[in-house]
Structure 1
Amino acid sequence: MTQAEGWEGILDDDETVIWQGRPDGRMTLKAKNIVGFLFGLFFAGFALVWMVLASQAGGFFWMFGLLHFFVGVGVAFGSTFWSAWRRRHTWYTLTDRRAFIATDLPFRGRSLKSYPITKSTVIDYEGGTPASIMFNHEMRRKKNGHYRVDVGFERIENGAEVYRMMRDIQKGQAV
């Protein structure tokens, strides 16, 4: 069987692509996005007030507030728009053995990650329109420890069908 175009050297010889898709790139409002947005606006507003008051003293001391102002703006708008922007630069592929997540992000470059789908893979289906299917997780470092980030196909149109395909892979019945 011939491999899908562009997958030469990535897929195993007898591995077959059974689905490809992209996540929904629309912006979503979640509680954590709203909290980040409000905190960022408060931070930027405080820096702006500080800069105005510092400028009244004369000189260029007020410019030290610019860094804080732009950090606040970045937190406010980054928390709101980052996940949607990241999804717009993401592609998903499901083969009869693995799930692939490809991204092309500025400053990070291109990335292709592969996640095997085995009988022991825990697959969480989050229904809805669009649906999400989580099948792995990564631990990320923070200042005082680690936190868990779920990995999967986020916000896809035909989630129920893809979920069925993944369950078929686990049963050894993949097409």
Structure 2
Amino acid sequence: MSSAKFWDNVLEHDEELLWTGRPKPRLHWRNWRLYGSAPMAATGLLVAAWFIIATVGAEGDMWLLVLPALLVLIPLRATRQQLQTYAATRYALTDRRALFFQVGAQETRVKAYPASAMTVPERRNTLPPSITFLQLGSGKDYRIGFDYVEKSSDLRTHLERMTQ
């Protein structure tokens, strides 16, 4: 499907497309959310190693050879899954709403949030920067936005105009 036809199907009558983008996270310590629950998994495996040593003793040493492999494989798998999710994500900002697309092989899912849910944009220190600008409930914990946006200054300019 051509890009123009795609937007004709998505945008409402007289709705103006202001910005489109997609997340492009870089592997970096600042992007700890990419790694999913890897630290929790590693902690669980270390507890399992301690349990094996404490209960089985020297006969359990063979099982301990599996744990270092798992300490690497589980975080790698979690990171790969997270990166695949971001690779299938697209963002759009219109003069009326913010759109989140999840592009799949069979279908594209869209979530739309009205401009009334937008708050003053806040930059999160990720590489590239993430910007939160949607307040979905009460409290700061319910703020979401576009993650890992290259050239986020362009997006931020549009968002600041919309929230004034």
TM-score (norm. length: structure 1)? 0.60
Read off the aligned partner of 2:109 and give its amino acid letter.
Answer: S
1:158 aligns with 2:151: yes
Q: Distance in 2 between matches of 1:87 and 1:35?
A: 13
Percentage of identical aligned residues: 22
Q: Distance in 1 between matches of 2:121 and 2:103?
A: 25
Q: Identify unmatched segments of 5+ residues in structure 2.
A: none
Q: 1:23 to 1:38 in 2, by over 3 A?
A: closer
Q: Distance in 2 between matches of 1:156 and 1:9?
A: 24
Match in the other structure for 2:42: 41
> Cα deviation per residue 1:54-79 (whole Å; 9 max; x = unaligned)?
xx79xxxx9xxx9xx97x964x4455
Match in the other structure for 1:92: 91
Deviation at 1:29, TM superposition (A): 2.5
SS at structure 2 position matched to 1:99 = strand
Q: Give 4+ residue runs of structure 1 displaced > 6 Å after superposition.
A: none
Q: 1:153 to 1:31 in 2, by over 3 A?
A: closer
Match in the other structure for 1:125: 122
1:115 aligns with 2:116: no
Q: Identify unmatched segments of 5+ residues in structure 1.
A: 140-146
SS at structure 1 position matched to 2:28 = coil
Q: Distance in 2 between matches of 1:82 and 1:104?
A: 15
Match in the other structure for 2:28: 28
> Cα deviation per residue 1:73-125 (whole Å; 9 max; x = unaligned)?
64x4455454433222211111121111112369xx7421111224x721323
Q: How many residues align?
A: 149
SS at structure 2 position matched to 1:122 = strand
Q: Distance in 1 between matches of 2:43 and 2:13?
A: 55
Deviation at 1:17, TM superposition (A): 1.2
SS at structure 2 position matched to 1:8 = helix
Deviation at 1:153, TM superposition (A): 1.2
Higher relative contact order (CA 8 A, sep 6+): 2
Read off the aligned partner of 2:8 and give its amino acid letter.
Answer: E
TM-score (norm. length: structure 2)? 0.63
Deviation at 1:12, TM superposition (A): 1.4
More strand by share: 1
1:8 aligns with 2:12: no
Aligned CA-pair RMSD: 4.3
